[in-house]
Chains A and B, each alone.
Chain A
Amino acid sequence: MSSITPELVEQHQITPEEYSRVLTLLGREPSLTELGIFSVMWSEHCSYKSSRMHLKRLPTRGARVLQGPGENAGVVDLGHGLACVFKVESHNHPSFVEPFQGAATGVGGILRDIFTMGARPVAIMDSLRFGPIVEDHTPSLPGGVPVKITQNRRILRGVVGGVGHYGNCFGVPNVGGETVFEACYQDNPLVNAFALGLARKDELFFAKAEGVGNPVIYVGAKTGRDGIHGASLLASAQFSGADGQQKRPNVQVGDPFLEKLLLEACLEAMHSGRVLGIQDMGAAGLTCSTCEMGGRGGVGVEIEMDLVPQRETGMTAYEIMLSESQERMLLVAERGHEQEVIGIFKKWGLDAVEIGTVIPEPVMRVKEGGKVVAEIPNTALTDEAPVYDRPWAPRSRLEPLDPPPAVKAQLDQARSGEDLAQDLVRLLAAPNISSKRWITEQYDSMVRTNTITGPGGDAGVIRIKETGQGLAMALDGNGRYCYLDPKRGARLAVAEASRNVSATGAEPIGGTNCLNFGNPEKPSILWQFSEVIDGITEACEALSIPITGGNVSFYNETEGRAIYPTPVIGVVGLLEKAEAHATAPFRPIGNNAGRSIIVLGGVLTTDESFAVSFGSSQYAQTIIGALWGLPPYVEMAYEQRVQACCRHLIAEGLVESAHDLSDGGLAVALAECALSSGVGASVKFNQADDARRLLFGEDASRILLSATKESRARIDHIVSQYNIRADEIGVTGGDALVVSQQGNKLFSVSLESLRSAYEDIFPATIEEVRV
């Protein structure tokens, strides 16, 4: 009698074809526990079955790369015997279902990925995307779904609370990231968390079992029924209807205090020299750690369910193997020294139990009360997992290339200086641009006393106490750009993350990506994915940034509405001397002459039609309320030279401030440099172009610098070496932003009024009580 019915197979999200493959690989019918194990390991989230063949195209090699994709996190060499371990990962669906815990455990998961490798986490960042939190030009979503301001604010508050709670308690500084609002994320927010750790190069650990007969030790929190099927049902399926409530039990619950103890105990145990391999239990819990550690070591792992520390009674092998309870690790120790290892965990008040051994047969063997309940070849779960070359097809444009007629009429009319000033104020107050202090002040950004530049800078910058070096890191994505043109958008995301790092003076040395997309079974979505991979590849190759790891998040759809394709790129850069870094604020000038304001790369960096590229800008979103055209084209070779030149100027100490130009263009960047220091600026444009283009256009490859008059000659000399343009556009000073074009004054706005727009509107919005 068969206990595995087709219905049961379907409930496990295994297709009939996949099930026949299970039968072939096992040579028999699976037990229920085995079926569960296959369902999580072959889920999109764990197997990367739709993305794997595309991901192979990413550049992953580089002189500094010590570990590329395939481990818990990527590793790059910092010199001086130090290595830097980092990765970004998504926790999108759990954060929609249960914002606080979903976001908290997202942070917890990425932190474990870092310290599993023997590195102490020293910085985190978060990239967050939500539906609109203010009424704007988007009254409803496609299909007539109303914009849910209250819901979106609730999710934002919960997510920020969760990210803060976990990081603050664990004791790792949050040094940056981004928060974006767009209608497409309303019922599918994105929560991507990045973590970075430091380790001695010769003390890195890998998730590999070795040495037949060695003990397999379970450490950390007890196993409960939380998070069962998190990887398959939450992370690898789209939402519909009442899923938000029904799937709540699939979300794990985090305890950062326990994770802090686990960190200290793991690092101490690793230092003892008695730990041979270690992997955290993240997605697919005990199942994933057992078969992957065996697989990587070319051996097998046998474990006994009765020995697994359990939080609840009566748990079946199925539940134990699939639980995603947080703060757990599996490690292989040296036989004869297991008590030494276990003793270290006991000292930190943690469970540490030998639950199995390394065996010669390359299988995962699970016993319950001495009886085998699952025995699966490692390769069946990893290398033999299905890989799909899914069909893809270019998506027909949903948005026009040229501005819609009403917009065109608007753009054809010149805008008065007064209107432009108001536009700037409105942009600064828009949630996508305004100060996110309300969010970032809820995060500990300074613990470990290394933070040189925290949230709000172009990139987070920390020092390394041991070597005097500095590390800069940035997370960037732009769903609007990628929606209009996935490849261009992806190139821009890489260019901007890298530019943010270069604007601090640091040289980019490695990257990580979190690829958030809709349902890959739809050809148009898979096309977006493939285009984005190509775009990332082109940009990373041009900028010499190897991708060392990351994560793919598909099925970001609710009721069939997909999010914009949203690759989030993390770039890490190295400063040989931490002191030699730049920051964005203009410097106070006292009674001295104002500093020269220079746009490195040039005020305009593309010859493409303004009417087409303006449609993807923040101005188009906030002021015009429309979306059209193409994102700005980025010429990668030019971008590379601009960034290299910027780093050179900073290394020589020639600039007093440096700030990347991105969302909102030059006017917003000027305001940000001025507001962060209280030093105003006076700017003159010689160009005859539309003032909207000069002020709010989002051309790539531009960095805003300020420098003393005395440095000008040397700067010009260096700029010419890099064969790039640098336009001097004005001087710092005063307490207003004054702009003129071709001798005519456009506007003068006091910093005070810019400040109140930039600082006050966002907190007031989010704290507003709505009945």
Chain B
Amino acid sequence: MKFGVVVFPGSNCDHDAFHAVQDALGQQAAYLWHQSTDLERSDAIILPGGFSYGDYLRTGAIAHFAPIMESVKKFAARGGLVLGICNGFQILLESGMLKGAMLRNRNLKFICRPVHLRVENVDTPFTNALHPGQVLSIPINHGEGNYYVDNETLETLQRRREIVFRYCDANGGLSDRTNPNGSLHHIASICNRGGNVMGMMPHPERACDALLGSTDGRAIFQSAINAISGTYSKPKVAEAVAPQR
């Protein structure tokens, strides 16, 4: 299958995402220029990390006006898979494709380090290769990853199981100490109602090679491959599963 990696001016994890899907996962990959509207028949779109447009105004705020984003939105509306990583997640929030907003990290500093993530929902195109409650080790790398959303939307997210990963400790436990950036309800990743658009602050492309310390990120790309190749069929959107906290 083919992953399209969008290149905004200031994207700096575009090469890494490209390398991960092409060399670690053995799939096709293509760079998609921000001023183009052609997704080049990609099966899935990655909005990579970085500092698109210098993060001027707000993180991700300018990127969502790029011509390519019109095509990405249409693609997503038709059920196409879109994965936003870090700055890509911020762009998905700014463009309204996902709900909520990012605040500055609680300690007001940029944070780069591996964190533990608990898998909250395996019934999505990006998590079908994972087990419920599985704990992954994947790095974060951001200054604004403190996820925030109003109470009502939070309840909806929980009810519809749109919270995909939470920050946790090595055993999957949730505590304030293991919440690196102050995110509401330890949220590290959410998806849309259809599950086909997912944003995550941690960088799975940095966890695809044992030489660099972790291969836990591969399952996320592998899940997308499963979803596209039909080895996994998306379940109906589940409502009212037990609250996650």
Residues of A within 8 A of B (CB): 164-165, 168-171, 255-258, 260-261, 348-349, 441-452, 463, 465, 578-579
Question: Which A residues are CB-close (under 8 A) to B50?
Answer: 171
Also in contact, A261 and B55, with CB within 8 A (given A168-B110, A446-B141): no
Q: Nearest-CB distance from B3 to chain A (Å)?
A: 15
Q: Is B240 part of the binding interface, using a Cβ–Cβ cutoff of 8 Å?
A: no
- Give the distance in Å from the alpha carbon of A578 to the alpha carbon of B143 in the complex: 31
B10-18, B150-158, B186-194, B220-228: which lies at the interface? B10-18
- Give the distance in Å from the alpha carbon of A255 to the alpha carbon of B55 in the complex: 11
Q: Which of B9-40 contact A (CB under 8 A)?
A: 9-10, 12-13, 15-16, 19-20, 23
Contact between B111 and A449, CB atoms less than 8 A apart:
no
List the 6 shortest-distance A-B pairs measured between CB atoms, nearest first.
Answer: A171-B12, A257-B54, A169-B51, A449-B16, A442-B110, A444-B112
Q: Is B56 part of the binding interface, using a Cβ–Cβ cutoff of 8 Å?
A: yes
Contact between A452 and B211, CB atoms less than 8 A apart:
yes
Q: Nearest-CB distance from B182 to chain A (Å)?
A: 15
- Give the distance in Å from the alpha carbon of A349 to the alpha carbon of B111 in the complex: 30
- Give the distance in Å from the alpha carbon of A168 to the alpha carbon of B139 in the complex: 14
Contact between A446 and B212, CB atoms less than 8 A apart:
yes
Q: Is B109 part of the binding interface, using a Cβ–Cβ cutoff of 8 Å?
A: yes
Question: Which A residues are CB-close (under 8 A) to B55?
Answer: 169, 257
Q: Which of B107-136 contact A (CB under 8 A)?
A: 109-113
8 Å CB contact of B141 from A258, A261, A349, A444 = A444
Question: Which A residues are CB-close (under 8 A) to B16?
Answer: 447-449
Q: Nearest-CB distance from B51 to chain A (Å)?
A: 4
- Give the distance in Å from the alpha carbon of A463 to the alpha carbon of B209 in the complex: 11
Contact between A169 and B10, CB atoms less than 8 A apart:
yes
Q: Is B166 part of the binding interface, using a Cβ–Cβ cutoff of 8 Å?
A: no
Q: Is B205 part of the binding interface, using a Cβ–Cβ cutoff of 8 Å?
A: yes
- Give the distance in Å from the alpha carbon of A252 to the alpha carbon of B16 in the complex: 31
B contact patch SS: mixed
Q: Nearest-CB distance from B231 to chain A (Å)?
A: 27
Question: Which A residues are CB-close (under 8 A) to B139?
Answer: 446
Question: Which B residues are CB-close (under 8 A) to A441?
Answer: 109, 111-113
Question: Which B residues are CB-close (under 8 A) to A170?
Answer: 12
- Give the distance in Å from the alpha carbon of A165 to the alpha carbon of B51 in the complex: 11
Q: Is B206 part of the binding interface, using a Cβ–Cβ cutoff of 8 Å?
A: yes
- Give the distance in Å from the alpha carbon of A349 to the alpha carbon of B110 in the complex: 27
Contact between B211 and A442, CB atoms less than 8 A apart:
no
Question: Which B residues are CB-close (under 8 A) to A258?
Answer: 54
Contact between B141 and A260, CB atoms less than 8 A apart:
no
- Give the distance in Å from the alpha carbon of A579 to the alpha carbon of B15 in the complex: 22
- Give the distance in Å from the alpha carbon of A6 to the alpha carbon of B39 in the complex: 66
Q: Nearest-CB distance from A671 to chain B (Å)?
A: 21
- Give the distance in Å from the alpha carbon of A443 to the alpha carbon of B112 in the complex: 6
Q: Nearest-CB distance from B232 to chain A (Å)?
A: 26
- Give the distance in Å from the alpha carbon of A230 to the alpha carbon of B9 in the complex: 30
Contact between B10 and A257, CB atoms less than 8 A apart:
yes
Measured CB to CB, the nearest residue on chain A to B23 is A465
Q: Nearest-CB distance from B109 to chain A (Å)?
A: 5
Question: Other than the known A168-B143, A443-B110, what 13 A-B pairs have Cβ atoms closer than 8 Å?
Answer: A168-B110, A257-B9, A260-B10, A442-B109, A444-B112, A446-B112, A446-B139, A446-B203, A446-B212, A447-B12, A449-B16, A463-B212, A579-B211
Contact between A257 and B109, CB atoms less than 8 A apart:
no
- Give the distance in Å from the alpha carbon of A258 to the alpha carbon of B53 in the complex: 9
Contact between A171 and B212, CB atoms less than 8 A apart:
no
Contact between B12 and A449, CB atoms less than 8 A apart:
no
Question: Which B residues are CB-close (under 8 A) to A260?
Answer: 9-10, 12, 51
Also in contact, A442 and B111, with CB within 8 A (given A257-B53, A257-B56, A449-B19): yes
- Give the distance in Å from the alpha carbon of A165 to the alpha carbon of B112 in the complex: 12
Question: Which B residues are CB-close (under 8 A) to A171?
Answer: 12-13, 50-51
**Residue among B19, B51, B206 with max Cβ neighbours from chain A (10 Å):** B51
Question: Which B residues are CB-close (under 8 A) to A256?
Answer: 51, 54
Also in contact, A447 and B141, with CB within 8 A (given A257-B53, A348-B9): yes
- Give the distance in Å from the alpha carbon of A170 to the alpha carbon of B51 in the complex: 8
Question: Which B residues are CB-close (under 8 A) to A348?
Answer: 9
Also in contact, A261 and B110, with CB within 8 A (given A446-B212, A449-B212, A451-B212): no
Binary interface encoding of chain B residues 137-164 relative to chain A, with 1 for a CB under 8 A from any of its CBs, else 0: 0010101000000000000000000000
- Give the distance in Å from the alpha carbon of A444 to the alpha carbon of B111 in the complex: 8
- Give the distance in Å from the alpha carbon of A578 to the alpha carbon of B208 in the complex: 16
Measured CB to CB, the nearest residue on chain B to A443 is B112
Question: Which A residues are CB-close (under 8 A) to B12?
Answer: 169-171, 260, 447
Question: Which B residues are CB-close (under 8 A) to A442?
Answer: 109-112
Listed by A's residue number, 21 A-B pairs whose Cβ atoms lie within 8 Å are: A168-B51, A169-B10, A169-B54, A256-B51, A257-B9, A257-B10, A257-B56, A258-B54, A260-B10, A348-B9, A441-B111, A441-B113, A442-B111, A444-B112, A445-B112, A446-B112, A446-B203, A449-B20, A449-B208, A452-B212, A465-B23
Contact between A449 and B205, CB atoms less than 8 A apart:
yes
Question: Which B residues are CB-close (under 8 A) to A465?
Answer: 19, 23
Contact between B112 and A261, CB atoms less than 8 A apart:
no
Question: Which A residues are CB-close (under 8 A) to B209?
Answer: 449
Question: Which A residues are CB-close (under 8 A) to B51?
Answer: 168-169, 171, 256-257, 260
8 Å CB contact of A261 from B9, B49, B211 = B9
Contact between B9 and A349, CB atoms less than 8 A apart:
yes
**Residue among B54, B206, B208, B211 with max Cβ neighbours from chain A (10 Å):** B211
Question: Which A residues are CB-close (under 8 A) to B212?
Answer: 446, 449-452, 463
Question: Which A residues are CB-close (under 8 A) to B208?
Answer: 449
Q: Nearest-CB distance from B62 to chain A (Å)?
A: 11
Question: Which B residues are CB-close (under 8 A) to A579?
Answer: 211
Question: Which A residues are CB-close (under 8 A) to B211?
Answer: 452, 463, 578-579
Question: Which B residues are CB-close (under 8 A) to A444?
Answer: 110, 112, 141
- Give the distance in Å from the alpha carbon of A258 to the alpha carbon of B9 in the complex: 9
- Give the distance in Å from the alpha carbon of A164 to the alpha carbon of B143 in the complex: 11
8 Å CB contact of A447 from B13, B53, B110 = B13
